[in-house]
Amino acid sequence: MRDGGRLSAAIEVLSEVETRHRPVQLALRDWGTSHRFAGSGDRTVIGNLVYDALRYRQSLAWRMGSDEPRVLVLATYVLTWEQGLDRLKTVLAEDHHAPEPLSETEEQRLTAAPDGAPEAQDAADVPAWLWPSFTEIFGDAAEAEGRALATRAPIDMRVNTLKSNRDKLLKRLAHAGAEATAIAATGLRIAPKAGSARMPHVQAEEGYQKGWFELQDEASQIVSLLAGAKAGEQVLDLCAGGGGKTLALAASMENKGQIYAYDADRLRLAPIHDRLKRAGAHNVQVRDPASSKLDDLKDGMDLVFIDAPCTGTGVWRRRPDSKWKLTEKALADRIEDQARVLETAATYVKPGGRLAYVTCSVLPQENSGQIKAFLERHPEFSVRPALGLWQGLFGTDKDPVHAGELGDLLLTPATTGTDGFYFALLERAA
């Protein structure tokens, strides 16, 4: 395929996403299935166009005066990918699979921005109804934080210290451009590429197949380390999902002690079994919600880890379509879920034990708001200041910008170069 056909395909896929409210991954997969002539390189370019159009949907719509899929895709090609207007006009003229030629209005908007400046939430590509929450937590930095959440994400990997070490993997993955992450000593990173470029398929690497590393954003690695799981402890991962943080905790514990991995949704939990085997994690007991309970763990855990259900506003770089689908009702539902999970988790923490609360959200309602409300209901818990934990693990030269007065932390793409993650560590009185 040439660029003209790729542009048409991206417009078709984005239209499917917008009109039928389909997840972008499914829409791209189905397009590829029904267009077998498209090679892997073509599918990469089409996917990149669609994802970038969604990342910058609001700012591009302001520039173009329209949020129609055709307009967004063409603007992505010209402006975001910096291909230029002349290149686009050539592509449209020379490829009979290309979209229709530019209208006078489209050409004018691609040539020059409208008078005035966009509203801050438009420049930041943040939905208008969420903007008050962004300004509440970020203040004057809200626009910069939103812009950072709209960029492409890197590929981050966690070295599985049960089987390997970072120096070894840096050599093994040098051909893919892997470098050490800036904060977590367990992390490797492959920087995102621009435009039509393809990222390496690291899951095909020998190291992944042998369990030497896992795909995991550095923020997820950081919060797992901050939880302070130690060898010999009893740990409950209450919302384990596919097991990413379970594996990180197992490595921190050097396979000693016991982790109980549980999730209310057994389908989410299903991948954990293969991942545990590949990683060589032997101190994990998976509790299937359909056939087992957690009653025997009440008041007995040194650490209860909650990767709470949330809106996912901190991972917009990886799932840009989700920001435009998020609703006020969905946020309210997640807030209810979080409060319920916190109440449940508290029953498993032993006197003197710890409760780690984590979300991949940047919204204060899901983060500090939840912790404040929990502490009011449970005076037997207090916050252990996370900044001290951070400095003990990572030093004082990388202190996070968003260290709250409550003792919590917020990681963001703009300040820590990671996904957006919230962390608070609570202690139950002995």
Binding-site residue numbers for S-adenosyl-L-methionine are 263, 307
Contact 302, 350 (CB under 8 A): yes
3-class state of residue 359 by DSSP: strand
* Dihedral (CA of 232, 235, 241, 245) sign: negative
Residue ranges of the binding site:
263, 307
Contact 118, 94 (CB under 8 A): no
CB-count burial class (<10 Å; 0-12, 13-18, 19+) for 328: exposed
Alpha helices in 203-243 (DSSP H): 206-209, 218-226
- Annotation says 360 is catalytic: yes
Q: Which of 229, 251, 360, 371 is catalytic?
A: 360
- Per the document, the length of the chain is 430
| Long-range CB contact pairs, 29-36, < 8 A, 24+ | 35/9
Compute CA 411 distance to the chain's CA centroid, rounded to the nearest angstrom: 11
Contact 248, 158 (CB under 8 A): yes
- Identify any residues that bridge with 421 across adjacent strands, giving them in sequence order: 411
Tell me the catalytic residues: 360
